[in-house]
Structure 1
Amino acid sequence: MPDPARSLPPAADAPAATETLYRAHSGWLLRRLRRRFGVEVAEELVQDVWLRLLGRPGGGAIRSPRAFLLTVAARLSMDQARRARPETRERDDEIDGGQADQAERLLLKQIVREMPPPLRDVFLLSRFEGLTYESIAERLGVSVKTVEWRMSKALAHCAARLRD
C-alpha cells in the first residue's frame, strides 16, 4: 500500500481526497506555518488551505502533497497581502501587504529581496501591480517567453524558500 505522505490518488471524490490529505498532513502544515507566520495567522491560513482544497475539482494525482500544501498556503498568503494593500503605495511598500501580519510581511519581503533583479521585477509587476505577461514584456523590453521563464523561476524560488 502506498504511503499517504508520499502521494495521493487523483481527487475524483474531492471531499474524501481532502480528508485523506488532512489526516496525513494537517499537523505538519500547522507546525510549519506557525514557524513562518505565527500562531494566529498560521491557524487562519491552514483553515483557508483546507477550504480551498474542498473546492478543488478532480484531476491528476498529487505527487508531493507537502509541497502542494505549502504552495497553496503561499499563494493564499500572497493573495491576502495583495488584497490588503492600498492602491496608492509605492512598489517597495506594496511588498508590505497592507495590514497583513508583521511576520508574514517580513518573510515575503525577504523572499522577494533575495530574488535576482530580473526575476524580482517580473514577480512584482505580475503579482503586485497586476500586469499581464504581455504588458510586462513590453515594459521590460523582453519577450513574453522570457517573462514566463522568469516568473516560473521566481515562483520556484518562493516555493523553495517556503519549504526551508
Structure 2
Amino acid sequence: MGNNSASRHHLLAEWYRHHHGWLVGWLKRKLEGAAHADDLAQEAFVRLFKAPQLEDVREPRAFLTVVAKRELYNFWRRRELEQAYLDALAQMPEDLGLSQEEYALLKEAILIIDRQLDGLPAKVKQAFLLNRLEGLTYVAIAQEMHVSVATIERYMKQAIMHCHLARIEGRL
C-alpha cells in the first residue's frame, strides 16, 4: 500500500470516527426515523471511498451532506419505483399475478436498471426506457417527447455509453 493510499485510508477512518454519528442523526431527521439511516450513512461512506481528491476537502460535514443527499435521493427514487411497480401489480388480474420468486427477480432487475441509469438526465433515461422497455422507435419517442429524432439518437448514444461504463466500473 502506497503512502498516498495509506493517508487516504487514515483520513477516511478519521472522518468515519468523527462524523458517522452526526451523519446518521442528520439522515434520521430527513427520513423521520432510523429504519434506513444507518444503511444510507454506510452507502455515503462507501461513495467517499471512491471520491477523488478527498484530501482537498476542507469542510467534511458539508461534503458528507452532499454525498448523503445523493444517497437519500437514490433511496427515495428506488422507493418510488418499487411503489409504482406494486401499484401496477395491484391493477393486474389475479391470474396474471407474480409468485414471490418472480416478484423478487423482477424487483432486482428494476434495481439493476435503476443503478445503471443513475446519473443520467431525466430526458435521456425516459428516451432509453421508452425504447428498451416499451419498444418504441426513435421516431415514436421523438414525437412523444416533442424533440427531434437526432436528439433521441444523441440521448440513446449517451444512455448506452453510460450503461457500458456502469458495467465496466462495476456499479451493478
TM-score between the two structures when normalised by the length of structure 1: 0.43
Higher share in helix: 2
Structure with max Cα Rg: 2
Higher RCO (CA < 8 A, seq sep 6+):
1
